[in-house]
Amino acid sequence: MLNYTLRRLLISVPTLLIISLAIFLLLELAPGDPMAQVPLTVPPEVKQKMREALGLGEPVPVRYWKWLVQFFWIEPLNMIDNIFGTAFAAGEQRVLSWQTRSPVMDLVLQRMPQTLWVVGMSYIVGVAIALPIGIYSAYKQYSVFDQAGTFVSMIGYSVPPFFSGVLVIVIFSVQLGWFPSIYDTTHRVVDWDTFVVQLQQMVMPVMVLALQTTAQISRFMRASMLDNLNQDYVRTARAKGMTEQVVVMKHVLRNSMIPVVTVIALGVPGIFGGAIITEQVFKVNGIGQLLITAIQANDLPLVQTLTFIFAVLIVAFNLIADILYGILDPRIRYD
Amino acid sequence: MTDRPHPEDVPVAGDETAPVIHNPVGAAQPVGRAIRPPRSQWWDVWDQFKTHKGALMGAAFFVFILVAVAIGPLLWTIDPTYIDIRARNTGPSLAHPFGADQLGRDMLARMLEGGRTSMAVGLTAMALALGLGTLVGVLAGYFRSLDGPLMRFTDLFLALPLLPLLLVMVMLFRDSLRSAIGPETGIFLLIVIGIGITSWMPTARIVRGDVLALKEREFVLAARSIGTPSRRMITRHILPNVLSPIMVSATLGIANAIITESALSFLGLGFPSDYPTWGSLLRDGTDYLQQHPERVLWPGLAISLTVLSVNYMGDGLRDALDPRIRGR
């Protein structure tokens, strides 16, 4: 197992390098010019100096190498400096955003809590709803509950978040006035009343994202339970005289959870992608909204870094899912 | 379904040549009539598909939408860009059944026009993704030397953050393509190609798996032993047999392409708003959410119902093509 983990870690290094190169080259092909907004009265030699100040003067391989060093060496050092108060990375050039001239990583760290709160919470809520639904609809296959569950998850698959989000805004904040339609990130939770306000503004984005998670995971849980419910060991357990609850909730559930856990792990990076849209609908200023504004402002370093962070998340969670599968299911032998 | 009488088997009153034989087994039939025309596998699939009510309704709705956006603009002849400023922000009326938007453009005409674009993008992008996926899958499954590199390539694509990359691609190439081949064709090609090359991977994986299994079958061995070249082997023996997984991923591909296109337009990085699609209509409608919620409702419902119908179709098709997983 350790051997396998190490091998997978080693494979993910070239994968990430190729992805980073692909993203870098894609942005390199960009016809957009960061100097396009500079007034025409600025003389060309000054423009050239500005270009070099933005790190655009050098040939492509040098810039790629510099970006790699900045991303994988200087930014982690800065992170360590921030945590321990050391000065390893003092004076080193960091990845700067063209919009704000501040380090890209600082922007990401500022936006991270909002995304994690809303998106992370929605994923947890979605999984928590999906698992019981999946279990029960597999146990009562073809019952009314099962049919309703199938229908609801079909809707969850089919209704895009930019429609379900707008729909809940129309119903719950325009018509009923229960919840605010815009997520206020400056809100601080200090006492019970502010906590209630925070809950109110989180309900809608969380439920919209959770609907999608629930749709996928409840289907998967149901299929996995159905696979196991017809196995011989279930009949044996029943024949031994175990109660139905022990059979289903212990024997079957534990075996069914193995593939479901990996699917849950695989879905974590995907939810960040989905959050791009939901954050736009509810005006949450998280990572997704940062990416959209960066794209609209042609802020290439920020776009590059954010896209690459998404890629790192995908590779990391793929790895975690595979390793979890190996740990949970002793029948799987990777070596 | 084999016991359904064919019209020519049933003795007709007045038909002098056919003797009426009252035999419940029905064995004594004139020679030559006992042989029915061979039913192809697709009739069995259709029979199975018919039993899935959701799938049937989904297919009916999908055909309805296709017909509506194809011939609708011919019947409802108001120009979607015509500005009737007096009808600005009006609700449903006889002249404008879906109301008119903030510039007085007829919403029904815009919905039909938008549906045309959305469906065209969905179908073309699906075809592109399917073609790419099938090509990669068949090559990887059939030629062992290509399997490793092609599958690593697929894994690499699966590790890419697709939506962010798609957004970046649109941002980078929108203006240059627009000036090169015109605003409408440019953005259409960009979005179709973008969605196509970011969604072929699941198809490739499924097709590869099926091809690998097919390669071990006897008929492939037989074909090879009479010297069939690889090219004809693939087109004649492999491709027809992997058609069913390809068809199922086609339905999923349409759903995915429609949602992705609408998401791009919604985020303002797809079609511009003077060139309506369901996504950009939805985006325009969100600005008037409080006063005119129906403007969000129509495009949103159109997207959701189309995708829902396609998903149900895919579900029924999967059940019909693979009886083992029926009911999952």
**In a shared domain, residues A169 and A92:** no
- Is-contact B247 B241, C-beta < 8 A? no
- For this complex, say whether ipTM is above 0.85: no
From the CA of B197, how many Å to the nearest CA of chain A? Answer: 14
Question: Within 13 Å and on the Cβ side, how many CA atoms surround A36?
Answer: 7
Least confident of A155-169, A197-211, B102-116, B210-224: B102-116
Residue whose pair of structure tokens reads 């390893």 in the numeric block: A88
Least confident of A34-38, B34-38, B108-112, B324-328: B324-328
Cβ separation of B304 and A15 shorter than 8 Å? Answer: no
Cβ separation of B172 and A31 shorter than 8 Å? Answer: yes
Cβ separation of A19 and B156 shorter than 8 Å? Answer: yes
**In a shared domain, residues A208 and A74:** no
Query: Does the pLDDT of residue B135 top 60, yes or no?
Result: yes
How far is Cα A269 from Cα A266, in angstroms, rounded to an integer? 7
Chain pair A-B, CB pairs under 8 angstroms = 128
Q: Residue A229's pLDDT is what?
A: 85
Q: Residue A91's pLDDT is what?
A: 64
Task: Give me the mean pLDDT over the A222-235 stretch.
Answer: 87
- Is-contact A213 A126, C-beta < 8 A? yes
- Is-contact A24 A67, C-beta < 8 A? yes
Task: Give me the mean pLDDT over the B276-280 stretch.
Answer: 85
CB atoms within 10 A of CB A46: 11
- Is-contact B178 B271, C-beta < 8 A? no
For residue A141, give the DSSP letter: T
**In a shared domain, residues A58 and A132:** no
Q: Give backbone dihedrals phi and psi of A168, rounded to 5 degrees, phi first.
A: -70, -30
Q: Residue B130's pLDDT is what?
A: 92
Q: What percent of chain B has pLDDT over 70?
A: 83
Q: Residue B6's pLDDT is what?
A: 46
- Is-contact B177 B189, C-beta < 8 A? yes
How far is Cα B133 from Cα B203, in angstroms, rounded to an integer? 5
Q: pTM of this prediction? A: 0.81
Cβ separation of A160 and B263 shorter than 8 Å? Answer: yes
Residue whose pair of structure tokens reads 């930014």 in the numeric block: A75
Q: What is the pLDDT of residues A46-57, one digit of tens each?
A: 877 777 776 666
With respect to residue A298, please indicate whether it lies within any of the assigned structural domains: yes
Q: What is the pLDDT of residues B156-176, one digit of tens each?
A: 888 888 888 888 888 878 777
**Residue A64 CB partners (closer than 8 Å, separation 6+):** A21, A24
Helix (H, G, I), strand (E, B), or coil: what is residue A96? strand
With respect to residue A174, please indicate whether it lies within any of the assigned structural domains: yes
Q: CA separation (Å) from B31 to B9, B16, B28, B36, B119?
A: 11, 16, 9, 11, 51
From the CA of A191, how many Å to the nearest CA of chain B? Answer: 32
Helix (H, G, I), strand (E, B), or coil: what is residue A103? strand
Nearest alpha-carbon partner for A279 in A170, A191, A174, A161: A161
Query: Does the pLDDT of residue B124 top 90, yes or no?
Result: yes
Average of per-residue pLDDT values in chain A: 82
With respect to residue A301, please indicate whether it lies within any of the assigned structural domains: yes
Task: Give me the mean pLDDT over the B74-84 stretch.
Answer: 74
With respect to residue A30, please indicate whether it lies within any of the assigned structural domains: no
Nearest alpha-carbon partner for A135 in A250, A266, A262, A263: A250
Cβ separation of A19 and B159 shorter than 8 Å? Answer: yes
Q: What is the pLDDT of residues A73-118, one digit of tens each?
A: 777 777 777 777 776 666 667 777 777 777 878 788 888 888 888 8
Q: Residue B9's pLDDT is what?
A: 43
Query: Does the pLDDT of residue A23 top 80, yes or no?
Result: yes
Supply B281's token pair: 């209509």
**In a shared domain, residues A180 and A241:** yes
How far is Cα A188 from Cα B230, in angstroms, rounded to an integer? 67
Task: Give me the mean pLDDT over the A123-144 stretch.
Answer: 88
- Is-contact B302 B136, C-beta < 8 A? no
Q: Give backbone dihedrals phi and psi of B281, rounded to 5 degrees, phi first.
A: -65, -40
Instruction: State the angle between helix axes of A2-28 and B162-181 in degrees (0 to 180), rounded to the nearest 10.
Output: 20
Query: Does the pLDDT of residue A184 top 90, yes or no?
Result: no
Q: Which CATH number do you get for residue A283? A: 1.10.3720.10
Amino acid at B173: F
Nearest alpha-carbon partner for B213 in B241, B194, B184, B191: B241
Q: CA of B308: which chain A residue's CA is closest? A: A158
With respect to residue A52, please indicate whether it lies within any of the assigned structural domains: yes
pLDDT tier, B222 (very low <50, low <70, confident <90, very high otherwise): very high
Supply B16's token pair: 């002098």
Nearest to A273 among B164, B304, B312 (CB): B164
Domain extent, residue A212, equals 110-328
Query: Does the pLDDT of residue B327 top 70, yes or no?
Result: no
**In a shared domain, residues A163 and A69:** no
Query: Does the pLDDT of residue B81 top 80, yes or no?
Result: no
Query: Does the pLDDT of residue B267 top 80, yes or no?
Result: yes
**Residue B35 CB partners (closer than 8 Å, separation 6+):** none
Supply B2's token pair: 């084999």
Q: Is the dihedral of CA A98, A103, A106, A112 positive or negative?
A: positive
Q: What is the pLDDT of residues A304-331, one digit of tens each?
A: 888 888 888 888 888 888 888 888 877 7
Q: Is the dihedral of CA A236, A242, A244, A246 positive or negative?
A: negative
Q: CA of B285: which chain A residue's CA is closest? A: A166
pLDDT tier, B83 (very low <50, low <70, confident <90, very high otherwise): confident
Q: CA separation (Å) from B132 to B165, B197, B236?
A: 19, 8, 19
Task: Give me the mean pLDDT over the B94-110 stretch.
Answer: 73
Cβ separation of A155 and B263 shorter than 8 Å? Answer: no
Interface residue of B151, B155, B165 to substitute, partner A, most A CBs within 10 Å: B165
Query: Does the pLDDT of residue A143 top 60, yes or no?
Result: yes
Residues of chain B in contact with residue A23, where contact means CB-CB under 8 angstroms, are: 165
With respect to residue A154, please indicate whether it lies within any of the assigned structural domains: yes
Task: Give the best-scoring range by mean pLDDT among A122-136, A156-170, A294-308, B239-253.
Answer: A122-136
How far is Cα B137 from Cα B129, in angstroms, rounded to an integer? 12
**In a shared domain, residues A125 and A201:** yes
Q: What is the pLDDT of residues A273-285, one digit of tens each?
A: 667 888 888 888 8
Cβ separation of B176 and A310 shorter than 8 Å? Answer: no
**In a shared domain, residues A144 and A223:** yes
Total domains in chain A come to: 2
Q: CA of A17: which chain B residue's CA is closest? A: B156
Residues of chain A in contact with residue B277, where contact means CB-CB under 8 angstroms, are: none
pLDDT tier, B1 (very low <50, low <70, confident <90, very high otherwise): very low
Interface residue of A158, A227, A318, A320 to substitute, partner B, most B CBs within 10 Å: A158
With respect to residue A270, please indicate whether it lies within any of the assigned structural domains: yes
Q: Residue A141's pLDDT is what?
A: 82
Supply B95's token pair: 């002249």
Q: Residue B325's pLDDT is what?
A: 53
pLDDT tier, B126 (very low <50, low <70, confident <90, very high otherwise): very high
- Is-contact A313 A269, C-beta < 8 A? yes
Residues of chain A in contact with residue B267, where contact means CB-CB under 8 angstroms, are: 276-277, 280, 292
**In a shared domain, residues A64 and A114:** no
Q: Mapped to the 3 state alphabet, what secondary structure does chain B carry?
A: CCCCCCCCCCCCCCCCCCCCCCCCCCCCCCCCCCCCCCCCHHHHHHHHHHHCHHHHHHHHHHHHHHHHHHHHHHHCCCCCCCCCHHHCCCCCCCCCCCCECCCCCEHHHHHHHHHHHHHHHHHHHHHHHHHHHHHHHHHHHHCHHHHHHHHHHHHHHHCCCHHHHHHHHHHHHHHHHHHHHCHHHHHHHHHHHHHHHHCCHHHHHHHHHHHHHHHCCHHHHHHHHCCCCHHHHHHHHHHHHHHHHHHHHHHHHHHHHHHHHHHHHHCCCCCCCCCCCHHHHHHHHHCCCCCCCHHHHHHHHHHHHHHHHHHHHHHHHHHHHCHHHCCC
Instruction: State the angle between helix axes of A161-168 and A253-282 in degrees (0 to 180), rounded to the nearest 10.
Output: 70
* A226-243 burial: b if 16+ Cβ within 10 Å, else e: bebbeeeebeebeeeeee
> What would you report as the CA-atom Rg of chain B, rounded to the nearest whole angstrom?
26
Q: Give backbone dihedrals phi and psi of A212, rounded to 5 degrees, phi first.
A: -70, -45
Amino acid at B274: D
**In a shared domain, residues A51 and A130:** no
pLDDT tier, B7 (very low <50, low <70, confident <90, very high otherwise): very low
**In a shared domain, residues A234 and A313:** yes
Amino acid at B226: I
For residue A39, give the DSSP letter: -
Task: Give me the mean pLDDT over the A185-211 stretch.
Answer: 82
With respect to residue A248, please indicate whether it lies within any of the assigned structural domains: yes
**In a shared domain, residues A230 and A205:** yes
Supply B17's token pair: 């040549």
Cβ separation of A157 and B290 shorter than 8 Å? Answer: no
**In a shared domain, residues A173 and A131:** yes
Least confident of A301-305, B3-7, B52-56: B3-7
Q: Residue B10's pLDDT is what?
A: 43
